[in-house]
Structure 1
Amino acid sequence: MTDTATKSSADLARASELGGVARFLKATEIDTRMLGMIGALLIIWIGLQVISSARIGVNPFDFDSRTFLSARNLWNLSVQTSSVAIMATGMVLVIVMRNIDLSVGSVEGVVGMIMGFAQVHFLVRVVGLELGNPWIWVLALAIGLAIGLLIGGFQGFIIAYMDVPAFIVTLGGLLVWRGAAWWITSGQTIAPLDATFQLMGGGPQGSIGARWSWIAAIVACGAVVLMLLQARRQRKRFRFPLRPVWAEVLRGAVTCGIILGAVGIANSYPWPTGIVRRYAEQNGIAVPEGGLFIAHGIAIPVLIAIAVGIVMTFVTNRTRFGRYVFAIGGNPEAANLAGIKTRWVTMKVFMIMGVLAAISAAVSSARLNSATNSLGTLDELLVIAAAVIGGTSLAGGSGTVIGAMLGALLMQSLQSGMVLLGVDSPLQSIVVGAVLVIAVWLDTVYRKRV
């Protein structure tokens, strides 16, 4: 009894030594690195809003359509972030295993060109499918995913089984696949793409509208509540420490608030007037005097990115393969001695990266409604920067998918903000490079303190 009382007194004494903020973070179990990144993102957004508002002479709280935090710009930002965020989820696994993939932008380019060629030439002229056939976009996407898988597997085989450093293999891939993208059509742009395929790129038709967006938000909030309840039940089952009830409620409320807020912003961005007028004429809808408001809602590429993020989070956190990846990144020699097939796991990681690059190629080319030689140029830098900024350590062994996706949003926010402010391209590159160096430096400082 005395020992128990002494232990309880010691725990209370240690708890009392913690400050209010430290006790709050400990109770809610919030990742401080993630919290810092969210804070940095908010600072960037507010700064860009103030600067863009001052540039056109409006109040920052007016949220004019020409300012950074307008519904129009945030909706476009979400679409532009999707392709980089998709690839960043795979780059987490690559970097966790102490590798690097410099070829993802070029793989995106060559796969996008192949899918465009398949839609416009191969499936129509060779196979004989008519334009508008619903199988065109399905077959083109399947071809792209298969090519991405093969490219990733080929590079992964050289890295894993032939012991060639990933830096060299993917640097060569950066040049080879970029050249292959040009060679397929001798540098010609392929357009227009299949109408259904274009929906993966967003736009008025490539969104799910206000009603389905709210339904998706309600379902997502329900899933968040169920996950919190299930996690608490599992902790209780295995007698792990439980978070206070108020902390569980706060986590759920904040998460659901972010989801509902994001959907509200997406639903406040209307279709352009010209498209609304044509839509009303085609469907026999009378346009009222003040105009007809039709909300975009959540864009399809954003839904694709979210789905990829959920799947990749499950793979990394809930599967044996994911545990193997982190074990290899933490200590390759120990993982090999433990019986993990490190070579096969390495090859599979690069195969996943190839498939994700193919998905990004579909989203990017659909958004542009064309396949061009410049598709994916320098995306490898944005993807690597997003993963590192999101907390993936270049030393291997640690990283999160959600962190990488937030990193992609941060990088795209900087780039979109600079474009909105009319910053020259060379200066944009300087800023992106500086941010990447600072992120690696902060990662080094963090690991030394831990």
Structure 2
Amino acid sequence: MSPTTRVFIARLSGIGVFDPNGDQLGRVRDAVTTMRIDRQPPRVLGLVVELQHRHRIFVPMGRVMRIEVDAVVLSSGTVNMKRFERRTHEVLVLSELLDRSVTIIDDRQQVSIVDAGMEQNRARDWVISKLAVRTAGSSRIGRRRGQLFQVAWNEVEGLAIREADQGTDTLLSMLSDLRAADVANALQDMPDKRRLEVASALDDERLADVLQELPEDDQVSLLSSLADERAADVLEAMDDDDAADLLGEMPAADQQRLLELMEPEEAEPVRRLMTYGDYTAGGLMTSEPVVMLPDATVAEALALVRNPELSPALAAQVFVVRPPQATPTGRFLGTAHLQRLLREPPSALVSGICEKDTGTLRPDAPIEEVTRHLATYNLVAVPVVDEHDRLLGAVSVDDVLDHLLPVDWRDADASRDPVGDATTDAVSRNG
């Protein structure tokens, strides 16, 4: 692999970052630059690198030893492991520059930025020297609508002006392959205006998945910034327990207004979940576990748990009940675990293999009891029933973890520095 001389930053997104020994530290998620008041190319200050557990740090370009086609290699030394926080004067290249509309000076044509090329100058600083742009319409010099070409940084104007409404097509295409948790992490690094533009462009299902991965304050802020009708649609697309938790953080008037805009069949389980205490089985549970009637077969159960939208914890078992099947169901009969389902003939009935000896919980059971129950029986989910033994929902181990971990667990700094030797001082934005 040979080092490249000009690097287009969008192509760096997602590639591995390695220490001098060849050990992977993380992946590139963005680059940080600052705008200049003159027409000189802006300096690239560093890269935003995502480590394990979605922890993002800043790595100055001075620590980059070389950039290869499929890897960024750092020099030895330590890095500052504090979570990356964008400063006021800084610009995230991929999050903020992509899809910006600018004007080519020579022919006054409007184009949108789809990538930015950086290279080292004589001082060995990395600067953005080229822009890959796409035409918005035909030009007087023969360029077609949608044509992609490169221009020098100083051949365009309008970068210093913040757009009232910036496009999102290029950025969304980069985020499309990321998991919802990674998209949520990217949104946290964006300015409020850009975050709302991206959120508004996501479809309801995708935005619902992303919202569920954000801290509660960010969830409330983002949902409140949407039009009420759109906010209600997104709440409908969320898991009912997450929707209930989110609404529970909002003022009562906002709760009522959004619940009334939701479809009645979608709002009803959310209203019910909101009646339970936060740290009880009822407040933790989802009312949409995998539920089957006694005459269902093993083959039908296995088909249901193959649903990719189910979390692994909920897909690990099916709950067997008397009619009706929707929660609150008829009388709870027992649980058929996935491992047992895989050992039985496809034609066998789930009612014949379900177990009830691992017990159930009442909705008012405190989180400490839920945790002990899961640990005692080595479960990944436990059924919650009412006084009439009707299934109300299930608490999964991931629901419990979300409430046991510190509020700021997503932002927790890494405990140690995985890069090189420990003799070099921690680096700053200045490299």
TM class, shorter-length: under 0.3
Per residue, is there more helix in 1 or in 2?
Answer: 1
TM-score (norm 2): 0.20
Q: Which has the higher contact order (CA 8 A, sep 6+)?
A: 1
**TM-score, structure 1 as length reference:** 0.20
- The structure where strand makes up a greater share of residues is 2
